[in-house]
């Protein structure tokens, strides 16, 4: 009888050790995964402080979507430096997307509160993302609205605000943002819509491009609806109210 009890205890101890071993292994894997993610994300953010991102996940996804629809693969983009982008375009981006861009630290909590309030009363989702948040999403993440992606977006937003200047954020933002079907970045958009380089965009042209940022594959900078014309007017009005932008 005593031997049976001892044998039972040994099996119980082995089972407990096995379970504890599995738990420790899982925790170790999770710990290593977190360390690897933090290290890689830091490396990526610091790298793109000096190196221009060659592509984004959205560009690749859209390319495959075009192929699935029977269209040609198209990623129309051309990088231009910050000083090669017309000042009205920079002002239009700030006026349209993030008027507190130069003052905030990556998050506009008032805009987020307003978006949450409006989304609770409407089926149409309204974003409250800053230019830095949009840049984090465009450069490092995939499209979507899941809580997981938003969490990663917040993490990369903090890193970008820590290691990049506002000038660098705006430069990358205007060079990678989707601006039409297969069109990415302000130079490609400027040539496609107005047959002019980004350096020569006027106030009206800049507002016409900035107004389509929320839905660039649905809206057109050269064929605006009545709603978009009104939005362009508001953007130009905000551009005049912004004052000088000191990057």
Task: With beta carbons less than 8 A apart as the criterion, state whether 214 and 227 touch.
Answer: no
Q: Specify the pLDDT at position 125.
A: 45
Q: Specify the pLDDT at position 6.
A: 52
pLDDT digits (tens, 9 = 90+) for 8-40: 555 555 566 556 778 788 889 999 999 999 999
- Parts of the chain with a pLDDT under 50: 2, 5, 120, 124-125
Backbone angles phi, psi at 21, to 5 degrees: -65, -40
Q: Specify the pLDDT at position 5.
A: 47
| CB-based burial, 19-50: b 16+ in 10 Å, e otherwise | eeeeeeeeeeeeeeeeeeeeeeeeebbeebee
Give the rounded percent of residues in the chain with a pLDDT score beyond 70.
85
């Amino acid at each position: 009888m005593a031997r049976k009890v001892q044998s039972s205890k040994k099996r119980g101890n082995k089972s407990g050790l096995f379970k504890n071993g599995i738990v420790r292994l899982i925790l170790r894997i999770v710990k290593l995964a977190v360390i690897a993610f933090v290290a890689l994300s830091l490396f990526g953010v610091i790298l793109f402080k000096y190196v221009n991102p060659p592509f984004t996940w959205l560009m690749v996804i859209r390319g495959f979507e075009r192929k699935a629809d029977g269209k040609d693969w198209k990623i129309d983009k051309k990088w231009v430096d910050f000083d090669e982008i017309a000042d009205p375009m920079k002002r239009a981006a700030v006026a349209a997307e993030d008027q507190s861009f130069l003052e905030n630290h990556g998050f506009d909590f008032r805009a987020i509160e307003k978006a949450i309030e409006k989304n609770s009363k409407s089926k149409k989702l309204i974003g409250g993302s800053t230019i830095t948040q949009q840049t984090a999403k465009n450069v490092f993440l995939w499209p979507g609205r899941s809580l997981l992606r938003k969490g990663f977006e917040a993490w990369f937003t903090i890193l970008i605000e820590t290691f990049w200047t506002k000038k660098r954020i705006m430069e990358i933002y205007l060079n990678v943002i989707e601006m039409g079907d297969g069109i990415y970045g302000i130079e490609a958009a400027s040539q496609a819509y107005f047959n002019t380089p980004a350096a020569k965009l006027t106030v009206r042209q800049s507002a016409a491009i900035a107004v389509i940022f929320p839905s660039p594959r649905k809206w057109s900078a050269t064929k605006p609806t009545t709603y978009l014309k009104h939005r362009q007017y508001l953007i130009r009005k905000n551009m005049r109210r912004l004052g000088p932008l000191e990057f």
